[in-house]
Amino acid sequence: MKSVIIVFHSGYGHTKKQAEAVYQGAASVTGVTAQLIAVEEITNHWEDLNAADAIIFGAPTYMGSLSAKFKHFMEDSSKLWYTQAWKNKLAAGFTNSASFNGDKANTLIELVTFAAQHAMIWVPLSLLPSNSSKSERNDLNRMGSSLGAMAQSDSDVSAEIAPPPGDLATASYLGKHVAELALRFY
Ligand SMILES: Cc1cc2nc3c(=O)[nH]c(=O)nc-3n(C[C@H](O)[C@H](O)[C@H](O)COP(=O)(O)O)c2cc1C
């Protein structure tokens, strides 16, 4: 069995829904075990991360950047950086925010850099963008991201109905894609 872990932070539940979709995509692949870990619970899960074949990181975009609680997790991981414990594991990322753009790309770039510091191998979203005149709100990759999965949650809508189904399907695609690569490469 290969192991894919999703580590995420969510302040108000929207990014948690996106993380759950990533998890479902990874868990749908035969031969892969998936695990979803909130950063608030990370203290008990460092060994799980060290044993994983792939780690997918996710956080909301707050002030054009990763949320502070996720950044706290990143800094806590520096103890593992010293030993390069995550070297050659697959890595991928996702983020959610209120605005269509909202500077989400900056959050994903921060995650790419974080993974590179750990000498991980970054997996891009690997989905063409939906950007034609026929594009619809629930299309896969409607925000045209390549580094990772993006989701957009209207600022006045609860996590019960946001992010929209297409963004959750995009997240699920990322989880499945990483899980399939974990089977192929490890
Ligand atoms: C402190 C803070 C900063 C935010 N900054 C941004 C931002 O830079 N860009 C954006 O599009 N949305 C921003 N938002 C909106 C959140 O990204 C959005 O509400 C998101 O759905 C929250 O996800 P969560 O429920 O997982 O916490 C911000 C929200 C908060 C609370």
Domains along the chain? 2-185 (3.40.50.360)
Stated as kind and residue range, the H or E segment containing 24 is: helix 14-27
Among 131, 60, 72, CA closest to 96 = 60
Among 151, 148, 150, 152, CA closest to 178 = 148
What per-residue confidence (pLDDT) applies to 185?
87
Mutation choice for ligand 1 from 61, 70, 106, CB with most ligand atoms inside 8 A: 61
Distance from C-alpha of 94 to C-alpha of 106, rounded to nearest angstrom: 11
CA atoms within 13 A on the CB side of 177: 18
Residues with CB under 6 A from ligand 1: 10-15, 60-64, 96-99, 102-103, 153, 155, 159
What per-residue confidence (pLDDT) applies to 180?
98
User: Which protein residue's CA is at the shortest distance from atom 17 of ligand 1?
Assistant: 97
Preceding amide of 163 cis, omega within 30: yes
**35 Cα to the center of ligand 1, angstroms:** 25
What per-residue confidence (pLDDT) applies to 32?
98
What 8-state DSSP symbol labels residue 101?
S
Q: Along the 186 residues of the chain, how does pLDDT read in single tens digits?
A: 999 999 999 999 999 999 999 999 999 999 999 999 999 999 999 999 999 999 999 999 999 999 999 999 999 999 999 999 999 999 999 999 999 999 999 999 999 999 999 999 999 999 999 999 999 999 999 999 999 999 999 999 999 999 999 999 999 999 999 999 999 987
Among 31, 30, 39, CA closest to 8 = 39
Q: How many CB atoms lie within 10 A of CB 92?
A: 32
Cα dihedral 28→178→57→116 (10° resolution): 170
Dihedral-angle region of residue 119 (phi above 0 means left; psi in -120 to 50 means alpha; beta otherwise): left
User: Which protein residue's CA is at the shortest distance from atom 1 of ligand 1?
Assistant: 62
